[in-house]
Structure formats: structure tokens, C-alpha cells
Amino acid sequence: MPSRSELAARRLVDPMIVEPVAPTRAVQETVTPSRRELANAIRALSMDAVQRAESGHPGAPMGMADFGMVLWNDFLRHNPANPKWFNRDRLILSNGHGSMLLYSLLHLSGHDLTIEDLRDFRQLGSRTPGHPEYGRTAGVETTTGPLGQGLANGVGMALAERALATRFNRPGFPIVDHYTYVILGDGCLMEGISYEACSLAGTWGLGKLICLYDDNGISIDGPVRGWFGDDIPGRFAALGWHVIPHVDGHDPEAVHQAIDQARAFHESPTLICCKTTIAWGSPGKGGSEKSHGAPLGAAEIAATRENIGWKHEPFVIPPEYYRAFDARAKGAVWEQEWNELFDRYRTRYPEVAAEFERRLACGFPPDWENLAWNFIQATQERCEDLATRVASQRALETYGPHFLSLVGGSADLTESTGIPWVGCRPVDFEHPDGNLIFYGAREFAMNAIMNGLALHGGYVPFGGTFLMFADYGRSAIRMSALMKLRCVFVLTHDSIGVGGDGPTHQPVEHVASLRIIPDLSVWRTCDTTETAVAWKAALDRINGPTALIFTRQKLPHQDRTPEQVRAIARGGYVLLDCGDEPEAILIATGSEVQLAVTAARQLNGQGRRVRVVSMPSVDVFDTQDAAYRESVLPAAVTRRVVVEAGVTAPWYKYAGPHGTVVGIDRFGESGPPEVIFQHFGFTTERVVAAVEALFESGATF
């Protein structure tokens, strides 16, 4: 018997069609909506939520509803009662502006997302923000919105799955066995990160990565043929992908067959090209950019309801639809089956199972605190003058072998950034379970893939490049901070100390720009000991990413007491004191600490009382209690000079109204590092003169 919606649709063509007498209750309960009707439920929720919010993107979820419904109902293994179940399939909506597709599916399938949450779409404090946000909405695997990054996150997740499967699976025990699905659109493929990430995915042969391309030919500016004429199937075939072209994205059977085919092909990732119509079902705005980034409007929604035969009020979904989408029962079975499999695995391979559980927890090595602090103290005792990039590698060689979950890599600067450590194993097609990743010259993809590795679980990723090129991957660093991921960004060759490479490679503004990213912890260290502490702090930090800033050039080791060594972890501390209440304070970071120390010793020898504060991490120092901060930087001491080879403006927070900053507010020059530092006034003489000028100006004690 035709459904009510099918009859309604027929009456639009033939008004003589009469709805039959309603069947009995018993018959009603067995009615199952058609595939098209199920997709229409997504369309209705999407257009209603956007209309209620008076803001959003209805066209994308309406166009993706058919293939989204097939993927979710026919293939996706997940448990709505436990969205964090480890062996679930990962699904990423890379074109995050189509968030109502994801929210609708989460709600309909039984996740902790109510109809009231959908009604609160885009409202302050809701669990349905404009773009999906990791940690806010149960079932959202990653924060998406900046186009292309979700796709790159998916590459990281797929790499994690393959690597963990290679390391831990045993015959008859596929404890790591899940797919990563990515839904993406034209905008994701226009962004350059898509090429970077997909090139790596093809090279690595990530066969359990399946991407569904919503090929609707429309962006906010209109039909994309004027600015996006790529042969996408040809492009991805050239990248080593398995491509399924020309799939009707509104034909559920065709989509089902395509996904079946993709799942059976494990030699490489798969791109399924789904041809769709944006805002399918909307008679006035379907296929048009008018449906992309604005509500359809009440009149158009009414016309759409009539056109697709959807007779229900806004936000009303009949029970039979919920029954059709409900994944709670099968999700519970999937998880229970996996739990039973892992119990047998633990019995058969107890040591490997214990390692697997430690990996998933990303916990700390046994006796971690003693191990780390013994190394830090030994570093202090060795008194080595090293470039901090080399000191970083020394720290990795000590910490790395004990952190089973640690995986590092570099954007084609592996040796220069000091990323490899003794015993690390490269990741490649044949050996995906290594812990050293060669990303090639792909800073943006590297950072976004790191985010995917962290999101998947089982890995604490770090990645290295020159500080200058942090700009190439900055958006992914920001997303890492937004999601509070445990990632470590190793950024070497800082400041004008890069020398002969010149201003193109001399990052004068970069440290300041990183420090202002919320929830990103930044360390710029002055010697081997501070570097060892910084690495410990980065590995200890489980609620956000860390950026470690290191030098190309050698730096002198600084003398410290054991108490001072411990104080490094507080972000700022008194490195050199004057034996009495200071008259002036020098604050410095990184390579400029040596200048501050030399200048202070000269001034103290002349009868001044000058303190040196090393502040390797401004954000960590700012979290210390008021009493400690006052003990380091007494408010009464207003003669303050900050020394850092970078832009000056942010430092006036610490210099105060009576202080000054010795820095650089212009681009650098090419030349030997020592000459460049001299040229721009980073000398003991200038620092001494800056302090003396404060005495002469009448700045108060």
C-alpha cells in the first residue's frame, strides 16, 4: 500500500486520487517509510531548523539527504548509547556548513540529541551550533567548518586505524576494524589542503577511507563551472585513489552499490562522486545558490513540503521514521560483539592487549615523573651549549621510547627540525605502524592529519617545520586549540637567528601570533634544560595543544639551582637575582636570555640591582597564583625591560607603562646570524642602555 506521503505526492499530479481509509493500528505499526521518505525527514528537519534560526545552510543537507541516509542506515557501525565506542566507524562532515544533515541523523538514530536541540539550532549554548563542534555534540567526530580540514582529519583517522590494526590485530582477532567516511563538497576540493591530504592518503594506500563527494556544482557565488572545472575523477585517480564516478546521489540503490564497492576495495582510498541537486525538493530554490547560505523562507518551505509530500508540522517526525532510523539496538549488539572479541583477545594475548589499552588511554609511562625530572636534572648538570632544536631531539630520544603512543613527523624538514629519535620507525605503505611520518612539503595537511590522529585515539602526535611556515598550517593549529587536542607543534629556526636565509625565513611576528591563540600553550626556550622541561610540559598537557619554539643556532647553557630548575615548569622564574630587592627587572625568552643575563651582570657589577626573569611560556606563567607572579615580577618594580627578537607590542603587558621592549618591528635581512643580531641592536650594550635610560627617565622603584 502506498504511504501517505507517496499519495500526497501523487495528488499533486492527479487531484482525483483519494486517500484510502486509515488501516488498523496493528497495520499502521508495521508501515515502514520508503527510502525517499526517510531522506525527506532529513530535508524537513534541515529546512525547519534553518528557518527557525533565521540563519544557516539548508541547501547542502537537503541535497545530501539521500546518500547520507543510505550511508547512515545501511553501513555506518556506531552505538548511539556510547558514541566513543572505540571500534565504531568514523563519519566526518567536512563541508560543515551542512551541519543539519549530521544533526538530523544523530537525532533520528537515537543519539543524545533531542528535537529541542534541533529547534535550538545556532542558538547560544545549544548542542547544535552552526558548524559541528567536537566535544559539544555527542557523535560529532571533529570540528568542521573551515573547508577541507575535515577531509584531512579523516586521512589522519584512517592512518591511525590502519597503523593500529597492523600493530595489534591477530589472526581471527580484528580488534581494530572500522572505516572512516568523509562527506565533502566542491569547496573542500577547491581548498589546497585537499590536494595535500589526498595525495598522502593515496600514497599511503588508506583503503578504509571512503569519501562521498556532494557534486552539486553550486557554491555561495553561484554555479562553480566558472571557477572550478577540475576533472575530479581524473584528479583523484592520479593521486592513487579508487574512483567511482557518476553516481546518482538521489538514487539510494545506486549509492548503496557504490559504497559496497568501495568497502570491498582495500588497496587505496575511494572517492564516490555523487551527482546531486542542492536543496533537492525545493521548487523555487533547488539547484540554485539561493538555497546555499540562507533560509528558504516560509513560502518556499510550504511549497517544498507540498512538492515532496511532507505533510507534517515543523519538527514533527512520526514514530515509524524513528523506528526506521533507530540504531540503538544494533549498535549495542555491535559493541557487545566487539567487547566479547576483545575479552577473548585479552585471554589469548594478555601482554599485547595491555599495551593496546595503554595506547588507547594515551597514558604516561611508568614512573614518568621520576624519569622526566631525572633527565631534566642531568641536562642541567651537563651544561651543554646546544641549539634548542638539537636539545629538543635529545629530549625526544629520552622521552620518546617510553611513550608508546607518540608519533612524530615533519613537513620535509625531518633532520633540520630534529624530529627523528633513536629507534623510531618510518611510516610507509608497507609499514603503517611506524612512529615517524614523512609528510613531504605539506605543512597544512601535516597539522590537520595530526589532529585526526589525536581525534581517533591511540596516538599523541607531534610535527615539525620551521617557525616561518607555521603560517601555512596555522588554521589547523587553531582548530587543534579549538578542540583542545593533545598535539605538539615543533617549530624551529626562530627569529632573525635564521640568518642567511633572509626575511622570507625569519619569523619576527610568529611567536606573538601563536601566543594569542586561545588554549594553545607556547614555549620559547633558552637552553637545553628549559627545552627538556618544555617537552615534559607538552607531553603532560592532555587538554590542549602545545607549540615548542626552538633555535637554529647554539645557545649558552644557564646556571641554575635545583629550585630554579623546578621553577621552569611555572612558565616564568627568576633566573638571575641581585641579592636584594631589585631596582629593575629584565624579562627575556629564548635566544635573548643570554643577552639579559650578560647585561644584568654588567649592571650589577656597576652597583645596580637588576633581576633577570626567564619567561619561556607566557601562558603558563599567567596561570600561576598571584603570590608567585608577584614574587617573580613585583608590582613595585616598574623599571622593566623585555628582550625578545620579535614584535614588541604584546610585551608591554609585562613591561608596563614605565618599561620598554627591545625587539624588532620590521622584517629582517639576509646575513650571518651574529651580524644580523648586531645589525638590529640585539646586543649587551643596547640592553644595558635600555635599563639605564629607565633610571634616567625617573621611572620609580
Q: What is the mean pLDDT of residues 215-238?
A: 96
**Res 4 pLDDT > 50:** no
The DSSP code sequence of 531-588 is HHHHHHHHHH--SS-EEEE--SSEEPPPP--HHHHHHGGGS-EEEE--SSS-SEEEEE
User: pLDDT tens across 597-656, in order?
Assistant: 999 999 999 999 999 999 999 999 999 999 999 999 999 999 999 999 999 999 999 999
User: Higher pLDDT residue, 477 or 18?
Assistant: 477
The reported pLDDT for the residue numbered 604 is 97
Chain centroid to CA 600: how far? 42
| Catalytic annotation, pick one of 37, 196, 443, 530 | 443
Q: What is the pLDDT of residue 29?
A: 52
Summarised one tens digit per residue, pLDDT across range 415-429 is 999 999 887 889 888
Q: Mean of the pLDDT values across residues 217-244? A: 97
pLDDT for residue 596 is more than 60:
yes
Region 528-542: mean pLDDT is 98
Whether 106 shows a pLDDT value over 80: the answer reads: yes
Cβ contacts of residue 30 below 8 Å, gap of 6+?
A: none
Average confidence score pLDDT of the chain: 94
- CA of 476: how far to CAs of 143, 397, 518, in Å? 11, 27, 13
Which pLDDT tens digit goes with each residue over 665-698? 999 999 999 999 999 999 999 999 999 999 998 7
Active site residue 669: no
28-44 confidence digits (pLDDT tens) = 455 899 999 999 999 99
Residue 1: pLDDT above 60? no
147 touches 191 (CB < 8 A)? yes
Give whole-number Cα distances, 560 to 527, 530, 602, in Å.
12, 11, 19
State the pLDDT at residue 701.
55
Whether pLDDT at 66 is above 60: yes
| Portion of the chain with pLDDT greater than 90, in percent | 92
pLDDT tens by residue, 256-305: 999 999 999 999 999 999 999 999 999 999 999 999 999 999 999 999 99
Predicted structure pTM score: 0.94
Residue 172 has pLDDT above 80, yes or no: yes
pLDDT of residue 30: 59
Q: Assign residue 490 a region (left: φ > 0; alpha: ψ between -120 and 50; beta: otherwise).
A: beta
- Return the pLDDT at 132: 98
Q: Give the separation between CA 165 and CA 469, rounded to whole angstroms.
A: 33
* Among 656, 655, 662, CA closest to 688: 662
What is the pLDDT confidence band of residue 431, given thresholds at 50, 70 and 90? confident
Non-local CB neighbours of 606 within 8 Å, separated by 6+ positions: none
Look at residue 24 and tell me whether its pLDDT is greater than 50. no
Confidence of residue 700 (pLDDT cuts 50, 70, 90): low
Q: Which residues does residue 270 pair with via DSSP β-bridges, in sequence order?
A: 210, 242
Residue 287, sorted as left (phi over 0), alpha (psi -120 to 50) or beta, turns out to be: left
Number of H helices, E strands in the chain: 28, 20
Alpha helices in 2-128 (DSSP H): 4-13, 25-28, 35-53, 59-70, 99-109, 115-119
Which residues, in sequence order, are bridge partners of residue 464? 410, 490
pLDDT for 433 equals 85
